[in-house]
Structure 1
Amino acid sequence: MAERRASPEVRWPAQPDMSLALNHMGTFDWDLDSGRMHLDSTALEVLDLDPEEFSGTPAGLRSRMGPSEAARLDARVAQALKDGRSHYGAYVRSRRRDGSPAWTHIQGHILRDADGRPYRVIGILRDAAHDPGEPGAGGERAEGRRRMTGVVERTTAILAHARTVNDVTDVLKDPEALSHLGAVSVMLGIVDGGRIHLVAEGQLGSYVPEIEYTRIDARFPMSEAVRSLQPVFLASREEFQHRYPELWPYIEPLAVRSGVYLPLIAQGRAIGALGLLYRRDGDFTAEERNVLVALGSGIAQSLQRAMLFEQEHDLAEGLQRAMLPRRIPQVPGSRIAVRYRAARMGREIGGDWYDVVPLGDGRIGVMVGDVEGHDTDAAAIMGQLRIVLRAYVSEGHTPDTAMARASAFLRDLATDRLATCTYAELDLGTGLLRLVRAGHHDPVVRRGDGTAHPVQVAGGLPLGLAPRETAPAGRSGSGYPVTSLELHPGDTLVLCTDGLLARPYAEDPDAGMRELMDAVSSGPADVEELADALCDLIGDAGGGDDMALLLLRRRGTPGPRGGGPLRLRLTPGDPEGPAMARHLIRAAVAAWGAQELADAVELAADELMANVLVHTDGGGHVNVRLTAAGRIRVDVEDTSSALPRRREAGDWAVSGRGLLLVDRLAAEWGVEPRGGGKSVWCEFALPSPP
């Protein structure tokens, strides 16, 4: 008969310490303020810890728990503290020194001060390996299933908002997401032709560098997952070494004991692969495999959406770049700066544009505009509209006529998009600035002394709308009246689209314009530096709308008093018109310090005006100005397409001598087409700079 082992002597009744020790129940005391934790000898024995191994803090328990178990226990305690409960309990998986699995039950009592603030936890830690039917283990398995399912749901919900591949990788690299998954590292590879491009890795120090680019036919688990469209599960370090010897040198120095590689499948083909590495040993359960496959499916859908979005964005961005001017011409006498900022929302492309058109003879045209919408259609319409408006002003059409024709062109496109635009034409020699506005907001002028003010430009309808039946009194029949002013040397014209002015959360609709005015007046004088300062109003990434900005600064020194340009209307049947024009021309020439040329300029201008009044029906305009080259220029415009010709007049002829006189008096003369009419001009060289 076998000898029975004697039980230790125990006094009656048993003391609490003896009762706890015989049932493998230890105690712990945790000071929440200092972070110190005390484990008695039985608690150390349950966790298979030597006293010198324990650090005296909760972190010392992690050497016997996996990352996922420690994270779950932390979450359980944090929830109890948050809910104001006095007790909590949890079953956790742990491992003994020899690597064998164990179950431990932890129960704590939370002490709180008079204000309800928790400051201490006193509890029991016991070996749960002999619980009948492992009720704790079953409960923890159910909780594990719920936790993993929750991880998949949360990850899928977060990835639903991912718009780029970087957004997807940022979610996967999040340390909190890794801890919930139980993984210590994550790798994301994207199929690129016959290779896999590794684009992301998580948790620095645990990354396995399977080379940035690997061939799909290589002996790597990620390549195998892509080839076979099946997940690859690795349950031990020995399996890593045996199945993938080329990968083993990278795995060997790491604390990695298992892993899984999931193919990311979208529309029946692999677009990438996801690798997860673990410190745990052992194969994956059927439930774990199903959850991981579901996670891979959600990531694949998000990744495909992000890749398609980036492809579409790259196409749209390339289209936008092609539609905007490739370079900005440098025009003597001016400094120009342009900026474009894409929107943060939508496809980050829109219909905003800018352009600079050299018109010759010291004149320059500048414009900004905005087509409705933020898509490729808006960008395509913008490109067509910019080019056609550029063509009209280059042909010599006046600003109002060019704007009216651009509006008709947009209507002919049969699109439902409208556009707004501001076009300005500047004579750099005289400073004459002519502006026309189509549904756009007013421009801003910064004077040489730093003051700034908006320019009240008479506006017309947005481009694409049918013109009014009759033009209001005093306005151009084109429907786009022209506003003229003088831009002095040192002044800067500011044109922008409403993306720079929009403030979505501001109650005051004028807040954006006030901010712009403050920034313009307080900003630097240099146009490039000022453009950067204005862009800072919305930031480098843009706002809810795209934005185009153009700054034009007139260089040079101020001219003498009265040195501005002269523009007069020639009306048929007005007997006083020519006489008044001759008087004003003489006064302007005298103001420019060229009194000795007054007779010649007056006579030449009189001959050109007479040609308009006698040989055309619609009258015209006479312009007299001082050019940047130091010449007096006389332009007489009319609406007739018939070109004048010089001819010899007989002794008794009453006409035919006008152009002969102009040719003899002026240094140069010529004819330029101007849209539906022409301009006959002549220039006189000043005897000395004014």
Structure 2
Amino acid sequence: MESQPQQAPQQRAAVDPTEPRLAAAARAARAGAYEWDLVTGDILWDDAACRMVGTAPEDFEGRAEAFFAALHPDDATRLAAATAEAIERGGSYRNRYEVVHADGSVRQLEERGEVLLGPDGRPHRVTGLLLDRTDEGREPGRPLAPTPVVRPRAPWFRGALPRRGGDPAASSADSIMLTLTRALSKAASVADVTRVMTDIARPALNADHLLIEADAHNPEHPCAVVGRAATEAMQRAVRDDQPLFLEGAAVPPDDGGPSVVRSWAVLPLTGTDDGRGACLFDFAGARTFDNGQRTLFTAVAGILAHALARARLFDREHQWAAELQRAMLPRGVPSVAGHDTAVRYLPGTTGMAVGGDWYDVLPLPDGRVGVVVGDVQGHSVEASAVMGQLRIALRAYAAEGHTPGAVLARTGRLLADLDTDLFATCCYLSLDPATGVIEAARAGHPLPVRIGAGASGTGVSGAGMTDTGMTDPGTAVELDLPGGPPLGVDPQALYPETVTVLAPGETLLLYTDGLIECRGESIDTSLDRLLATVTDWTRDEARDEADSPAPERLERLADHLVRPCQAQHPRADDVAVFLLQRRSCS
């Protein structure tokens, strides 16, 4: 019996022990990994991604030019629109496009990635995988890949490739404009407008740099992309009120080094507020701006000019509001004998960015010191004005010698008589600096936080009195301080008083709700986070900075508490923080 020839076994890939496991998984899926730094413009491709795009790994210099030089011209504007939308929206995305290799072959690639945010909440980098879909047939709704063509070697070879039919560039340009218009409509300040253009427009249009200058007509105002030449180009665009397109110009840098080849789209910005400025999109090397691209850049400049005009008006109003707010707050905190203090105030950054949060230290006639932290409802000039009235009234009632409960009751009746729909929360305490005895009352305000010093305080007894009883070093707990309703809600409301003692080394933290409120988080969770933050920081500081002066440590704690709020963009609420620490016995 004649034996049948055996079929050659299928070649199987062997395990390479030196290859990272995730890299092996990407290779098995015929995927290439990439990362795009949106801040610097640097791009990282692994070898597989380089091969898919048609670039030798050793020739890839980490810039976007290699990708856009390979991208099929029919996909360029459409991909820019998709990029703008993905960056504006954030999160995961999926794109599909064609690239043309040096031999003229056309490959269909699928890009699956995610836009990642930095610590400041802005788009920071894009990371994901490239997949070669050429052998899987055409994507639904798209024509088959065109017949392979030979790509000219000259830069910006777009006109040499066949069109797929129709004019996708027009609809893609409209999509870019729609995305930018939507993003700019949410931008209130000039800083917000600049962030939108930097985070969305610059990467979507493949620019290395973007410079926006509100006063480009002023020759003394410094600009820097590649030196003085950029300033002069922007001044010329403003003077002539005409866009200026430089394609592959040799630009001498200010440091006297050799000239570099750059391409610029320089666009005048003429807004409705009589402002004159310009923006400059900067590209490395030579680039040709065709009619469609010039129209797109000019349209972008138009919506940018209107957004800047609106933002300048907002910034002026914000400045007026901030000046009003500063005038209403104390210029400085009076010293408190035997105690150290630290205060912080951050205005909200939405709306008028002015609100009703305030703090104050009041000298009382019997040698005691009053400390108050309050918050008027709302963020408006009216809220700030009401805050000023309450601050003056509270100081007057306290100066008359009334107890904290009586001061709040009288202030609440005054607010109810002001014929305003606003109410206010407040925490007011009267301190005896010599003994640390505190009398306190509260009107709908967050409870103060007591931070232990590591030694048990001297308790006081009697009706309505509490014991310090703090023995755990650095522990932060809410002060047991029953209160009444917010001021202005019930003109007949009474406010119970509580007496406690601030032991040597102990600290009292008073704050407004802007410090802890977080969208989508319960108030209990927010409070637990605050107490844990204070406890952990205080214990770490006691261990690492035990020899630092107490006032310095208190200032560092204040900075630590408000740092997360400073990073919020936008910040929905005002933040007021008041720290009072009784000095340890010598």
Residue 232, structure 1, aligned to residue 255, structure 2: no
Alignment gaps of 5+ in structure 1: 1-29, 40-53, 95-103, 202-206, 215-219, 469-477, 559-690
The answer to whether the 8 A contact 2:426-2:444 is kept is: yes
Counterpart for residue 70 of structure 2: 70
Counterpart for residue 267 of structure 1: 272
The answer to whether the 8 A contact 2:355-2:383 is kept is: yes
- For 2:108 and 2:216, locate their aligned partners in 1 and report how far apart those are by CA, in whole Å: 56
- For 1:390 and 1:200, locate their aligned partners in 2 and report how far apart those are by CA, in whole Å: 51
Pairs within 5 Å for 1:345-356: 345-356=350-361
The equivalent position to 2:215 in structure 1, one of 155, 177, 191, is: 191
Residue 510, structure 1, aligned to residue 515, structure 2: no
- For 1:540 and 1:107, locate their aligned partners in 2 and report how far apart those are by CA, in whole Å: 50
- For 2:253 and 2:420, locate their aligned partners in 1 and report how far apart those are by CA, in whole Å: 58
The answer to whether the 8 A contact 1:226-1:270 is kept is: no
CA distance change for structure 1 residues 69 and 154 in 2, over 3 Å: closer, same or farther?
farther
The answer to whether the 8 A contact 2:345-2:574 is kept is: yes
Pairs within 5 Å for 1:336-415: 336-343=341-348, 345-415=350-420
The equivalent position to 1:485 in structure 2, one of 500, 504, 529, is: 500
Counterpart for residue 427 of structure 2: 422
The equivalent position to 2:513 in structure 1, one of 485, 498, 506, is: 498
Q: CA deviation at 1:479?
A: 2.3
Counterpart for residue 464 of structure 1: 488
Task: Count residues in correspondence.
Answer: 461
Residue by residue over 1:386-407, the C-alpha shift from the partner in whole angstroms, topping out at 9 and shown as x without a partner, is: 1221232123333333223322
CA distance change for structure 1 residues 233 and 364 in 2, over 3 Å: closer, same or farther?
same
The equivalent position to 2:184 in structure 1, one of 147, 159, 162, is: 159
The answer to whether the 8 A contact 1:190-1:196 is kept is: no
Counterpart for residue 261 of structure 2: 255
- AA aligned to 1:510 is D
Counterpart for residue 553 of structure 2: 529
- AA aligned to 2:485 is L
- AA aligned to 2:362 is V
Counterpart for residue 169 of structure 1: 194
Counterpart for residue 126 of structure 1: 149
Q: CA deviation at 1:417?
A: 1.2
Counterpart for residue 324 of structure 1: 329
Q: CA deviation at 1:424?
A: 0.8
- For 1:91 and 1:375, locate their aligned partners in 2 and report how far apart those are by CA, in whole Å: 57
Counterpart for residue 223 of structure 1: 235
Q: TM-score, normalised by structure 2?
A: 0.64
CA distance change for structure 1 residues 540 and 527 in 2, over 3 Å: closer, same or farther?
farther
Residue by residue over 1:607-633, the C-alpha shift from the partner in whole angstroms, topping out at 9 and shown as x without a partner, is: xxxxxxxxxxxxxxxxxxxxxxxxxxx
Alignment gaps of 5+ in structure 2: 1-29, 33-45, 83-92, 111-128, 136-144, 153-158, 456-469, 543-549
Q: CA deviation at 1:540?
A: 4.5
Q: CA deviation at 1:36?
A: 9.4
- AA aligned to 1:306 is A
Higher RCO structure, 1 or 2 (CA under 8 Å, sep 6+)? 2
Q: CA deviation at 1:515?
A: 3.6
- For 1:61 and 1:371, locate their aligned partners in 2 and report how far apart those are by CA, in whole Å: 56
The answer to whether the 8 A contact 2:149-2:161 is kept is: no
- For 1:510 and 1:62, locate their aligned partners in 2 and report how far apart those are by CA, in whole Å: 48
Residue by residue over 1:44-78, the C-alpha shift from the partner in whole angstroms, topping out at 9 and shown as x without a partner, is: xxxxxxxxxx9845957999x88744355797899
Secondary structure in structure 2 of the residue aligned to 1:380: helix
Pairs within 5 Å for 1:79-158: 106-108=105-107, 125-127=148-150, 137-139=162-164, 142-158=167-183
Q: Between Structure 1 and Structure 2, whose CA radius of gyration is higher?
A: 1
RMSD of Structure 2 on Structure 1 (CA): 4.8
Q: CA deviation at 1:156?
A: 3.2
CA distance change for structure 1 residues 247 and 486 in 2, over 3 Å: closer, same or farther?
closer
Q: Percent same amino acid at aligned positions?
A: 34
- For 1:186 and 1:326, locate their aligned partners in 2 and report how far apart those are by CA, in whole Å: 40
- For 1:499 and 1:335, locate their aligned partners in 2 and report how far apart those are by CA, in whole Å: 24
CA distance change for structure 1 residues 499 and 255 in 2, over 3 Å: closer, same or farther?
same
- AA aligned to 2:527 is M
Secondary structure in structure 2 of the residue aligned to 1:291: helix
Residue by residue over 1:401-450, the C-alpha shift from the partner in whole angstroms, topping out at 9 and shown as x without a partner, is: 32233223323432221111111112223443221222223333345425
- For 1:185 and 1:147, locate their aligned partners in 2 and report how far apart those are by CA, in whole Å: 22
CA distance change for structure 1 residues 249 and 553 in 2, over 3 Å: closer, same or farther?
closer
Residue by residue over 1:135-169, the C-alpha shift from the partner in whole angstroms, topping out at 9 and shown as x without a partner, is: 95454883444444443333333333334434433
The answer to whether the 8 A contact 1:520-1:534 is kept is: no
Q: CA deviation at 1:352?
A: 1.3
Residue by residue over 1:644-689, the C-alpha shift from the partner in whole angstroms, topping out at 9 and shown as x without a partner, is: xxxxxxxxxxxxxxxxxxxxxxxxxxxxxxxxxxxxxxxxxxxxxx
CA distance change for structure 1 residues 499 and 292 in 2, over 3 Å: closer, same or farther?
closer
